[in-house]
Structure 1
Amino acid sequence: MSVRHFVVGLTGGIGSGKSTVAALFGAHGAALVDTDAIAHRLTGSGGAAMPVLRAAFGEDIATTEGALDRVRMRERVFADASLRRQLEDLLHPLIRETARRQIDAAFAAGAPYVVLAVPLLVEAGDWASRCDRVLLVDCPVELQRRRVIARSGLSGEQVDRIIAAQATREARRAVAHDVIDNDGDETALAAAVSRLHTRYMALAGSEKPG
């Protein structure tokens, strides 16, 4: 059976467990394309997006090493929604093009399917239309909040602002084909990923459906 280029869009709110789920799919053999990782490379020291961002927002948004000062930038875009839109308009086309190249390279290398991790899949652009399937990792907002505060050192107020700026759980569920409720233990999460991997392999045409 020939292999079809099958892309699963992975999304979820901050603290929902997307990175853990992506790693579990990777352990099953799926190729991973992570838009957050792409964004960090583009805005790192010497990153391709930095000249454009410095020209648009000023030299003070860069660290002494030439990377994006994410704390300063976060403060500015949360204080002014027009600046957030400007940042997205500059950065997102670069992220999309890099993601497209990585997806093409993954299939050229023989990947059975690609997991495209896009935290803002619902909020930003046409990501969902690029995916054959949308997988949502979901959990209650209070659990998101506790996880992010514990791992990031951000204040509760800062985390609340980030959550408020993202799509609601209801909006994400409305576009999702599959949902993993990540409010249990690691064993349940791994089992859910394993079941979906089997399904995605079948849908990709890599195996005959059982």
Structure 2
Amino acid sequence: MRFIGITGGVGAGKSEILGYLAKKPDTRVMLADEIAHELMSPGTECYDRICETFGAEDIFLPQGGLNRGKLAAVIFSDEAKRRQMNAIVHPAVRVYVEKEAAREKQGGKRKLLVLEAALLIEEHYDEICDELWYIYTREDIRRERLMASRGYSTEKVDRIFASQLTEEVYREHCRVVIDNNGSVAEAFAQIDRALSEKK
């Protein structure tokens, strides 16, 4: 089983690439964001710790659970709070991913296990993935996409970009770079080439 970690800036078009990989035979795609959402549900250890740490913040729904929009606003506008949240959630996600990777490897049925995570490099997933891939899309294209598809303001995009790694750091840590500035077909062809190469 080959375990690939995929990362890239917000708006890089990772969803299409992950969708393409998910259709490959004997492949499982895991999304760190979805895992985090599960692990932050009421009744979990993560949720209890978030309540303890952020109890004074207006980020909770009346019926329990987290208001994702308000939570994002809080952690993207305050670096200290973003770090606190990451310190609660990311180690829990990592433990889950390690367990699932071990289980899939032992099962022997998967050819490919893919993990997409924004903080793949910062959280040292190179220690458990066989290789890291970087989805590269120019900043102007990403900016345009985020403003059009998510309705983000210029200021919000600036804040998000400022909180992410530079292109140089991504390239330094990732074995494969998929250039996603052209057509979808071109990106898919690069993926197929990368998958056909021996590690």
Question: Could you tell me the TM-score, scaled by structure 2's length?
Answer: 0.89
The Cα shift of 1:6 comes to 2.6
Separation of aligned partners in 2, 1:63 and 1:114: 34
Aligned to 1:89: 87
Aligned to 1:144: 142
Do 1:31 and 1:106's aligned partners in 2 also have CA atoms closer than 8 Å?
A: no
Aligned to 2:156: 158
The Cα shift of 1:89 comes to 0.7
Cα shift readout 1:150-182 (whole Å, capped 9, x = no counterpart):
221221211111111000111101111110010
Counterpart pick for 1:135 among 120, 133, 136: 133
1:19-34 alignment runs, 5 A limit? 19-29=15-25, 30-34=27-31
Instruction: Say yes or no: does 1:12 pair with 2:8.
Output: yes
Point out where structure 2 has 5 or more consecutive residues left out of the alignment: none
CA 1:178–1:135 in structure 2 vs 1: closer, same or farther (change >3 Å)?
same
Separation of aligned partners in 2, 1:71 and 1:118: 19
Q: What's the secondary structure of 2:160's corresponding residue? A: helix
Do 2:30 and 2:115's aligned partners in 1 also have CA atoms closer than 8 Å?
A: yes
The Cα shift of 1:10 comes to 0.5
Give the alignment's Cα RMSD to 1 decimal: 1.8
Aligned to 1:38: 35
CA 1:80–1:10 in structure 2 vs 1: closer, same or farther (change >3 Å)?
same
Separation of aligned partners in 1, 2:41 and 2:147: 24
Q: What's the secondary structure of 2:141's corresponding residue? A: helix
CA 1:116–1:185 in structure 2 vs 1: closer, same or farther (change >3 Å)?
same
Q: What letter is aligned with 1:58?
A: G
The Cα shift of 1:12 comes to 0.4
The Cα shift of 1:98 comes to 1.4
Instruction: Say yes or no: does 1:111 pair with 2:120.
Output: no
Aligned to 1:69: 67
The Cα shift of 1:75 comes to 2.2
Q: What letter is aligned with 2:98?
A: R
Question: Could you tell me the TM-score, scaled by structure 1's length?
Answer: 0.85
Separation of aligned partners in 1, 2:90 and 2:2: 22
CA 1:17–1:24 in structure 2 vs 1: closer, same or farther (change >3 Å)?
same
Q: What's the secondary structure of 1:197's corresponding residue? A: helix
Cα shift readout 1:116-162 (whole Å, capped 9, x = no counterpart):
1111112x322122221111000111111111122212212111111
CA 1:65–1:169 in structure 2 vs 1: closer, same or farther (change >3 Å)?
farther
Q: What letter is aligned with 1:15?
A: G
Separation of aligned partners in 1, 2:195 and 2:65: 36
Separation of aligned partners in 1, 2:41 and 2:113: 25
The Cα shift of 1:85 comes to 1.0
Instruction: Say yes or no: does 1:101 pair with 2:99.
Output: yes
The Cα shift of 1:104 comes to 2.5
The Cα shift of 1:13 comes to 0.5
Aligned to 2:50: 53
